[in-house]
Chain A
Amino acid sequence: MLKNLAIFFMNDPRNRQYTNGEITVFWKPAKCIHATTCFRELLEVFNPGRRPWVNMEGAPTRRIIEVVNKCPTQALTWKYNSELSQDEQASSRHEPVVKDEETPKTLAVSEEKFIPVRIQIMKNGPIVVEGEFRIIGPEDNELKTMRMTSFCRCGNSGSMPFCDGTHRKVDFKDQ
């Protein structure tokens, strides 16, 4: 069963991989829970508003590894190119398929203003927000203008006010 699941994730046609010649980053959208750690930490590399959404030239290898390691679900993983399997090497030589690439929100970012922001309460998880919105800090200071994020709802995130996946560790429940 576990093996079948692993094969499912490996063979998912939406999976993508990106390389800078030194390392390869693997993207498995089926595993993403929208904790948004990747693009909050390193927008230069992980930008859901761009196609392809991963730009391996946006930061040094060390920094990319650091942020990929923080992905709470292993939707993003990485390997040194010297450690790639033959299949993985074959895929790495191909240019990423851009037209049907799935990003963390399957987004079609619109340039229109005043699109209603969509707030989704995730079961036993964060508040996921999509759209064009501003975040205001406790001192009435504007923190950020964003298009997608997830706010912590369990009270235990290590990167407040945003979700960092801790809700799973503390077994946060809605009821």
Chain B
Amino acid sequence: MSDHNAEFKIFQGGPLKVTGNFQIVDTRGKEIEIKGPVYLCRCGGSGNKPFCDGTHRTRKFSG
């Protein structure tokens, strides 16, 4: 457990980095065990959703 509230950092054209104190639940409502920061896919193209796998670069995602 981290001692500070969750922070969401937006990477331009890239993922969403989450740090701090959080829990994450998958599409089936099951909690995902996570240690440390996570990078969540924002471009829609990751092969490892909900996590980023670097695909945003090949898709030239700009959001």
The complex places the Cα of A137 from the Cα of B41 at a distance, in Å, of: 16
| In the complex, chain A residues 61-116 whose Cβ is within 8 Å of any chain B Cβ | 113-116
Contact of B44 (CB < 8 Å), options: A131, A135, A140, A172: A172
Q: Does B26 contact A121, Cβ atoms closer than 8 Å?
A: yes
Flag whether A118 is at the interface (Cβ < 8 A).
yes
Task: Looking at the assembled complex, report how far the CB atom of B56 sits from the nearest CB atom of chain A, in whole angstroms.
Answer: 8
The complex places the Cα of A134 from the Cα of B41 at a distance, in Å, of: 18
Q: What's the tally of chain A residues with a CB closer than 8 Å to chain B?
A: 36
Q: List 6 A-B contacts (CB under 8 A).
A: A116-B21, A119-B24, A119-B40, A127-B40, A132-B5, A153-B44
The complex places the Cα of A137 from the Cα of B23 at a distance, in Å, of: 22
Interface residues of B (CB under 8 A from A): 1, 3-12, 16, 18, 20-28, 40-45, 49-50, 59, 61, 63
Chain A residue with the shortest CB-CB distance to B32: A121
Complex contacts, A132 vs chain B, CB 8 Å? 5-6
Interface residues of A (CB under 8 A from B): 113-124, 127, 129, 131-138, 140, 143, 151-157, 160-161, 172, 174-175
Chain A residues touching B, majority SS: loop
For the complex of A and B, list the 7 residue pairs with the smallest distance between their C-beta atoms, beginning with the closest. A155-B44, A117-B6, A123-B27, A138-B12, A117-B22, A160-B63, A136-B9
Given contacts A114-B4, A131-B22, A134-B7, contact A157 B27 (CB under 8 A): no
Complex contacts, A114 vs chain B, CB 8 Å? 3-5, 21
Complex contacts, A122 vs chain B, CB 8 Å? 27
Task: Looking at the assembled complex, report how far the CB atom of A107 sits from the nearest CB atom of chain B, in whole angstroms.
Answer: 16
Given contacts A119-B18, A160-B63, contact A153 B42 (CB under 8 A): yes
Q: Which of B10, B23, B26 has the most CB of A within 10 A?
A: B10
Chain B residue with the shortest CB-CB distance to A135: B8
Task: Looking at the assembled complex, report how far the CB atom of B34 sits from the nearest CB atom of chain A, in whole angstroms.
Answer: 9
Besides A114-B21, A119-B18, A174-B27, 8 other CB < 8 A contacts?
Answer: A114-B5, A117-B22, A123-B27, A133-B20, A133-B22, A135-B9, A155-B43, A156-B44
